[in-house]
Amino acid sequence: MVEIRKIGVVGAGQMGAGIAHVSALAGYEVTIFDVSHERAQKGVETIAANLDRQLAGGKIAEADKEAALSRIIAADGAGALGDADLVIEAANEDEAIKRRIFAQICAVLRPDALLATNTSSISITRLAASTDRPERFLGIHFMNPVPVMKLVELVRGIATSDETYEAARAYVERLGKAMTVSEDFPAFIVNRILMPMINEAIYTLYEGVGSVDNIDTAMKLGANHPMGPLQLADFIGLDTCLSIMQVLHDGLSDSKYRPCPLLVKYVEAGWLGRKAGRGFYDYRGETPVPTR
């Protein structure tokens, strides 16, 4: 079994930075790679700011923060991943993008290195088949925000070896995360249940059953959810929600997974949620205001 000491993370956005953050805190050497060195460096800056928040909240000590930052490198090219024991891809939820990334990084990885994807919905078996190492490939799906959420879903493809699974399990345990194991079916466990609920909340809005505020208030106070489904959709990103619903609809051929037309329209408008400043709420002022 490969002993995992060095982690490569592809993608310096919210998820990639979060994965690098928790890996470095757990004692792993981490290299972050993105389309440019500047993007990778920005990911390191995001991690530093998030570590400062943890320090201010008393969750880590100053020594923990400094040690974690000393373990993180912003890559200047894919070649920097060449000595990684495990590389985790955390790019956009787009299969074509992920395949291009795998083609690029497989060319520089050691033959025995493990490769994982943080996909929230796409077939692990199909992604693995596009690489040169399907036996050493699996899904390690972190929840957002990674430093806060306790769960990680491990997903084995049809070719994933026992050794690869055990190495990934040991990595997740060292991070201090709880783990579930999902079969390789569209959207796995969490999003197979969560996304249709969010999609149904959008249909409830689309059909005029309730306003944004009424729907979110109803689910927070009536179902004891910490965040309303429309607020949660904005936090996740409406483009990501739509991508996952499309994977479910295409993969399972069941009309109950049809993405709501209103979700499609918001994505077409570029109203993708918090990251775009507008979604089901408008975030451009001091407090979020419902857009419907």
Catalytic residue among 23, 120, 199, 243: 120
247 occurs within a structural domain? yes
Residue that has been written with the tokens 């993708």 in this structure: 272
pLDDT score, position 191: 96
Catalytic-labelled residue, pool 121, 191, 199, 243: 191
Q: pLDDT at residue 226 above 90?
A: yes
Using left for φ > 0, alpha for ψ between -120 and 50, and beta otherwise, residue 124 falls in: alpha
Q: What share of the chain is helix, strand, coil (3-state, %, to 5)?
A: 50, 15, 35
Catalytic residue among 153, 182, 199, 243: 153
Residues 164, 238 within the same domain: no
In Å, how far are 19, 66, 104 from 143, measured between CA atoms? 10, 25, 26
Question: What is the tens place of the pLDDT at every residue in 228-279?
Answer: 999 999 999 999 999 999 999 999 999 999 999 999 999 999 999 999 999 9
Contact between residue 47 and residue 69 where contact means Cβ atoms under 8 Å apart: yes
| CATH code of residue 149 | 3.40.50.720
**Number of structural domains the chain divides into:** 2
Q: Tell me the per-residue pLDDT of 193-205, one tens digit each, with 9 for 90 and over.
A: 999 999 999 999 9
Better-predicted residue by pLDDT, 3 or 184: 184
* Residue 44 shares a structural domain with residue 176: yes
Give 145-180 pLDDT, tens digit per residue: 999 999 999 999 999 999 999 999 999 999 999 999
The verdict on 63 and 157 lying in the same domain is yes
Nearest to 72 by CA among 145, 17, 116: 17
As a three-state string, the secondary structure of 183-217 is CCCCCCCHHHHHHHHHHHHHHHHHCCCCCHHHHHH
In this structure, are 173 and 103 located in the same domain?
yes
Taking the whole predicted model, whether its pTM rises above 0.85 is answered as yes
93 is catalytic: no
Q: Of the residues 152, 182, 212, which one is the last residue of a structural domain?
A: 182
Residues 160 and 204 in one domain: no
The pLDDT value recorded for residue 208 is: 97
- Structural domain range at position 37: 6-182
User: According to the model, what pLDDT value does residue 57 have?
Assistant: 95
Residues 163 and 285 both lie in one domain:
no
Per-residue pLDDT tens over the stretch 75-123: 999 999 999 999 999 998 899 999 999 999 999 999 999 999 999 999 9
96 phi, psi to nearest 5 deg: -65, -40
Question: Do 23 and 86 fall within a single domain?
Answer: yes
Q: Is the pLDDT of residue 1 over 90?
A: no
> Are 21 and 47 a contacting pair, CB within 8 Å?
yes
Long-range pairs for 160-166: beta carbons < 8 A, 24 or more residues apart: 160/124, 160/128, 160/134, 160/135, 160/136, 161/135, 161/136, 163/1, 163/2, 164/114, 164/135, 164/136, 164/137, 164/138, 165/138, 166/1
Instruction: Given the residues 93, 123, 141, 243, select the one marked as catalytic.
Output: 141
Q: Are residues 202 and 122 in the same domain?
A: no
Residue 108 belongs to a domain: yes
Cβ-contact 62, 99 below 8 angstroms: no
- Whether 23 sits among the annotated catalytic residues: the reply is no
Same domain, 152 and 262: no
Asked about 37 being catalytic, the answer comes back as: no
Q: State how far the Cα of 143 lies from the Cα of 190, in Å rounded to an integer.
A: 9
Rg (CA), the chain: 19
Q: Does residue 1 form part of some domain? A: no
Q: What is the pLDDT of residues 24-69, one digit of tens each?
A: 999 999 999 999 999 999 999 999 999 999 999 999 999 999 999 9
Task: Examine the domain organization and report whether 178 and 196 are in the same domain.
Answer: no
- Asked, for residue 187, whether it belongs to a domain, the answer is no
Confidence of residue 2 (pLDDT cuts 50, 70, 90): confident
Q: End of a domain among 137, 156, 182?
A: 182
